[in-house]
């Protein structure tokens, strides 16, 4: 059984979608959910879905090997960043395969500070005609690793950052779990 650890910083809708997708999967499971924010709703979502939920501090992530050792002990095959806002230390990306989803068509609108509504505001302000999602492997640089999958959506004149966010969220829900599955089964 391939094991996933999900790291998230917010409400956890992507994490919940991934947990539900793999709930009865024959060869992949979500082992645990981890958040750097004690109050993050993702922790409640995970517990409600009977998945272990854990909190860690930014210092524990960067300055200790606590999480690294825990992932080793659990024999994690893939770390999934689902709305995780911190840069993952190099020691994680050197030891584990890590995948992230970004709410834009990288390499455009990526990098530090480009997440959530900030991305959508920038895309709308620049009068782009399309946006989308990028699912990519994680390396030492924000939003830089090898692209595994992209999906696009049109932007119309009436779109706002909020309406664009809804379009992007639909793409995330449809494609993120399937791309994770393909990666773990060797078909990505």
Catalytic residue numbers, as ranges: 102
Helix, strand or coil, per DSSP, at residue 131: strand
Q: Which residues contact 166 (CB under 8 A, 6 or more apart)?
A: none
Distance CA 161, CA 158 (A): 10
Helices (DSSP H) in 8-152: which residue ranges? 13-22, 41-48, 58-63, 66-74, 90-95, 116-125
Distance CA 183, CA 138 (A): 13
Q: Are 28 and 70 in contact (CB under 8 A)?
A: no
Cross-strand bridge partners of residue 2? 28
């Amino acid at each position: 059984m391939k094991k996933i650890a999900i790291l998230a910083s917010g409400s956890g809708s992507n994490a919940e979608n991934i947990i539900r997708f793999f709930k009865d999967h024959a060869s992949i499971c979500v082992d645990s959910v981890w958040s750097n924010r004690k109050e993050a709703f993702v922790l409640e979502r995970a517990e409600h879905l009977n998945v272990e939920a854990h909190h860690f501090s930014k210092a524990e992530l960067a300055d200790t090997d606590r999480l690294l050792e825990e992932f080793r002990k659990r024999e994690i095959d893939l770390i999934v960043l689902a709305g995780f806002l911190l840069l993952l230390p190099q020691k994680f990306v050197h030891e584990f395969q890590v995948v992230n989803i970004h709410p834009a068509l990288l390499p455009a609108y990526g990098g530090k500070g480009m997440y959530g509504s900030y991305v959508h505001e920038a895309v709308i302000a620049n009068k782009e005609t399309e946006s989308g999602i990028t699912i990519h492997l994680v390396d030492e640089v924000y939003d830089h690793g090898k692209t595994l999958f992209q999906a696009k959506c049109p932007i119309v004149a009436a779109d706002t950052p909020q309406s664009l966010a809804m379009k992007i969220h639909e793409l995330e829900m449809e494609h993120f779990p399937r791309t994770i599955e393909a990666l773990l089964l060797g078909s990505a």
